[in-house]
Structure 1
Amino acid sequence: MGITSTYAEHAKNTPNKIAIQTYNQKLNYLEWHEQVGKTAKWFHSLPSTNKTIGIYLPNGIPFLQLFAGASAAGWVAVPFDLKWKETELHNRINLSSPSLLITTQDMYQKLRKIYPNVMLWEDCLKKIKQECFTESGMIDGDLPFYMGFTSGSTGNPKAFIRSHTSWVESFQCNRVDLQIEEFDHVLIPGTMIHSHFLYGAISTLFLGGTVYVLEKFSPTQTLSFMHTYPISVVYLVPTMIEALLKEDDLIEKPVKMVSSGAKWEDDSKRRMRKKFPYLSLYELFGASELSFITVLTDQQHKQKPESVGKPCLNVDIQIRCSNQQLAKPNEIGKIYVKSNMMFMGYLHANHQTLQSIEDENGWITVHDMGYLDEDGYLYISGRENQMILYGGINIFPEEIETVLSSHKNVNMVAVVGIVDSYWGQMITAVVKGSASKKELRGLCRKKLASYKVPRKWYFVEEMPLMSSGKIDRVQIKEMIERKLVRL
């Protein structure tokens, strides 16, 4: 079964029900099914060896139509972030090797500089409309359909691949763990380059609900949609929640908020309940490679506020000590996960093969550290690597450090995440050298996406080192917190 396999049923049973609503456009399920079918047929007509399509579009129906149509045709869809700088975009295009990149007129020239096979969405749409609609055949659930990117420990991007089955299995978690059904009206206020929001839209369409999509996040427009439409579910990350809290508004109707990307702080939850008196909170913990791992509901938060919840449907968790023995309750170790929702593997750019990270028994770790308590609730102690969670986005400091180290007047640099009530973690750079903050910030803005540019800068005469000669990141954080470094 594929991620679009229920569209025909929805078109037959509820043809006039709205499938997707944006600010200025809407489609019912009959129209949506036909558009996806025609798009899939157009993909079938394209000559291609690797059947990979790059999508460089803003949020909206065209984005979802291409993603769903490619999936229905057995292609792999690769969303590209509009915020990526040219170098970041070039690296990810080289890694994914799409047969074709689709974009809009205002972004066409940017892409043509770095990739020859670019096509305008408007031209694609003309060809798609000329196709005759036919029902798509059944999709093998083991086929890949989605490629996303995550950074490795070196800061270089890694491409991960997901199969249809991995998401179809996840859709069942919507029903069981999140209590989301076909009668729900689901608001997607964030960019669909973020898999949390892309998944929210595609899972709702699979179940037969109605999806409301914002072109980009705006707290004012998010609240406006909630007032105007019968929104019952909103997908968010904690940074968006903080932005909503700054608005002087009150939503006095039942609404469910599904948060992911970082821990939702207690004080934020308390303040949200004042603005949303009939609020239900669901906090997801997962990973790009693993999909859903745990969920924390309202009631569970009252019992175990520091945990990230209990395992989702059909998810098994093990905590292993360094010797690979199973940890005891409340004993910290590395988190291993096993389910049918896990990814297929990382893509090797050179020979286009997949690298699985499953062990011999089907378990995967992404090197998160934590423990299970005696009741089976999971707690996250930290990350074995130094990944920073900034506004729900995973950022590896090594990527930023590589850019900063390229400046001739930087002798040594460390980038760390400092706890911040709004962003989750604030990206903070500590530099040894004579380069100025203005120079370094400009270098980062040139080489990195805006959200990766450090927000705080400190300069030191000597960088704290461990006995091994490596930078002592723990001591750096202590120095910042104790204000022992200069701005």
Structure 2
Amino acid sequence: MRATRGFYEIAAADPGRVAVVTDTAAAVTYGELHERANQVSHGLLARGTRPGDAVVTVLPNGVDAITMMLATYQIGAYHVPVNWHYTAEEVGYIVADCAARTVVGAERYGHALPGGFVETGALAEGRPATPPEGRRAGSMMLYTSGTTGRPKGVRRRLIELSPEDLYPILTRKSWRHFGLPPDGVHLLLSQLYHSAPYGQAMMALQFGHAVVVTERFDAGETLELVERYGVTNAFMVPTMFHRLLALPTSIRTKHDLSSLTHLYHGAAPCPPATKQAMIEWLGPVLWEYYGSTEAAVATMVSSAEWLERPGTVGRAIDGLEFTIVGDDGAALPPGEPGMVYIGGINRFEYHRDPSKTAAAMRGPLYTPGDIGYLDEDGYLFLCDRRTDLIISGGVNVYPAEIEAVLQEHPSVADVAVIGVPDPEWGQRVVALVQPAAGAIPGADLTGELLAHCASRLARLKHPRVIEYRDRLPRTPTGKLSRSNLRKTYLPL
């Protein structure tokens, strides 16, 4: 008898197994979650959703968000989870760009959904709890920004297979590299509108794990949850490590954390000293991976490997390979930094932006835009994340988007947004503003500019610091060098 293939078969074979645990309601079993996902699938189909259509969700972490992941995944839809911090303008752009068939939201975020939305309960109400006909696997489609300042959806090719038949392919290509057993407890600490938490929560459910859900990260609570539920695996970003290590020793040592065997991290560079301290505290349970929304997981490195090569983000997983390319377009030898290209990734495109797709590719190779080098054994070391990208608390913040908003203000003649080191967040957003003629730099103007951002940008994108310059250096072609600006700013 063959092994079960993922969530849907596990739910049928063991419906009483615990699937989702939250602090706001009773635990939900695999059988209950399966029925709920089936009902929502029927609700989406009744609203005209067909394979390849997009379904936008603006939901907090919880049973509804996980239900939408599973419901869209079995009807061949593209699930587009959107950051609930976004403004109505930002959400509206994504809804229009992906031509969303349905927008699913929560009442608490209704102010960001002026075009209307349906709640998960309304989709499920009165619908059959049996699986829909013609089931086929869907995919998430996350929006990621670039130099244009407008986010683009990362759209993967859909395969005409059921979720059960896709399961062994995903296991062979990616999931097996995580080294998880078929039973366990996953602790969800980050928001499901990010690719890594989304992917790991989905993987945990496909493996039959219980998923303990939090809406927001709290360092002390995290340790208590690990002990209470016997958590075996979780995903974190370095900012979380920083906050955990800042806890008093009495708090850090009072909980039994021995159940934890796999603590994954990624999404942002981790200072070696921070990672070393985490390993010394928890033991060799840290696993780091490098990738992107486009490439998914590209490397994996254990604690033991990392201790032998501090700073590495690992070697390419089976089926993938790295090529480091110099400015002249030639491949570079080990030890020499250049643009990182990844070969062997699943096909993707930026939705409605073929030029952006082409710019990210070099034949069959894809680049996240990072600079790095390989050692003699094929371990990848990153020198710098994308040239202009700011990573704050593990979240990608794109300077061009913020600059475009600030440049709308009549008191701004020119602006450059850069990321500078921050001990807690990794980087913080700094705006260097050249005031327009007649504008007076100072606290009043800063207040005006932040107020201007309030309705246009999520708060996480607001500059933490606004400073004023007589002028900003630009080349004759108008290009701004943020790397040079960072160098001149940091000594101040």
Report SS of the residue matched to 1:202. helix
1:271 maps onto 2:282 in alignment: no
How does 1:379-394 map onto structure 2 within 5 Å? 379-383=381-385, 385-394=387-396
Answer whether contact 1:104 1:122 (CA < 8 A) is retained: no
1:124 alignment partner in structure 2? 123
**1:343/1:462 CA distance change after superposition, 3 Å:** same
1:96 maps onto 2:98 in alignment: yes
Whole-angstrom distance in 2 between the partners of 1:221 and 1:338: 40
Q: 2:130 aligns with which of 121, 126, 133?
A: 133
Answer whether contact 2:56 2:79 (CA < 8 A) is retained: yes
Report SS of the residue matched to 1:193. coil
* 1:476 shift after superposition: 2.0
Report SS of the residue matched to 1:119. coil
Answer whether contact 2:174 2:297 (CA < 8 A) is retained: no
Name which of structure 1's ranges 438-447 and 400-409 shifts more when overlaid on structure 2: 438-447
1:147 alignment partner in structure 2? 141
2:53 alignment partner in structure 1? 51
RMSD: 2.7
**1:403/1:138 CA distance change after superposition, 3 Å:** closer
Q: What amino acid sits opposite 1:482 in the alignment? A: P
Q: 1:463 aligns with which of 452, 457, 472?
A: 472
Structure 2: runs of 5+ lacking an equivalent: 160-165
Answer whether contact 1:40 1:136 (CA < 8 A) is retained: no
Name which of structure 1's ranges 102-111 and 386-395 shifts more when overlaid on structure 2: 102-111
1:196 maps onto 2:159 in alignment: no
* 1:168 shift after superposition: 6.9
Q: 1:327 aligns with which of 326, 332, 341?
A: 332
TM-score after normalising by structure 1: 0.88
Report SS of the residue matched to 1:447. coil
**1:53/1:158 CA distance change after superposition, 3 Å:** same
Report SS of the residue matched to 1:314. coil
2:400 alignment partner in structure 1? 398
String of CA shifts for 1:273-310, please: whole Å, max 9, x gaps: 46x43451111111110001112220111111122111
* 1:367 shift after superposition: 2.0
String of CA shifts for 1:31-78, please: whole Å, max 9, x gaps: 233332333233333324663211111111111112211110122211
Whole-angstrom distance in 2 between the partners of 1:368 and 1:222: 32
How does 1:369-384 map onto structure 2 within 5 Å? 369-383=371-385
Whole-angstrom distance in 1 between the partners of 2:342 and 2:209: 30
TM-score after normalising by structure 2: 0.87
Answer whether contact 2:417 2:429 (CA < 8 A) is retained: yes
Whole-angstrom distance in 1 between the partners of 2:360 and 2:427: 30
Report SS of the residue matched to 2:311. coil
Q: What amino acid sits opposite 2:351 in the alignment? A: L
1:304 alignment partner in structure 2? 309
**1:287/1:73 CA distance change after superposition, 3 Å:** same
* 1:208 shift after superposition: 1.6
1:36 maps onto 2:40 in alignment: no
Whole-angstrom distance in 1 between the partners of 2:121 and 2:355: 33
Name which of structure 1's ranges 467-476 and 80-89 shifts more when overlaid on structure 2: 467-476
Q: What amino acid sits opposite 1:334 in the alignment? A: M
Whole-angstrom distance in 2 between the partners of 1:133 and 1:427: 49
Whole-angstrom distance in 2 between the partners of 1:32 and 1:233: 21
Structure 1: runs of 5+ lacking an equivalent: none
1:184 maps onto 2:184 in alignment: yes
Whole-angstrom distance in 2 between the partners of 1:409 and 1:354: 32
* 1:29 shift after superposition: 2.2
Whole-angstrom distance in 1 between the partners of 2:59 and 2:386: 35
Report SS of the residue matched to 2:419. strand
Answer whether contact 1:108 1:120 (CA < 8 A) is retained: no
**1:44/1:475 CA distance change after superposition, 3 Å:** closer
**1:298/1:373 CA distance change after superposition, 3 Å:** same
**Bigger proportion of residues as strand:** 1
Identity of aligned residues (%): 24
**1:54/1:432 CA distance change after superposition, 3 Å:** same
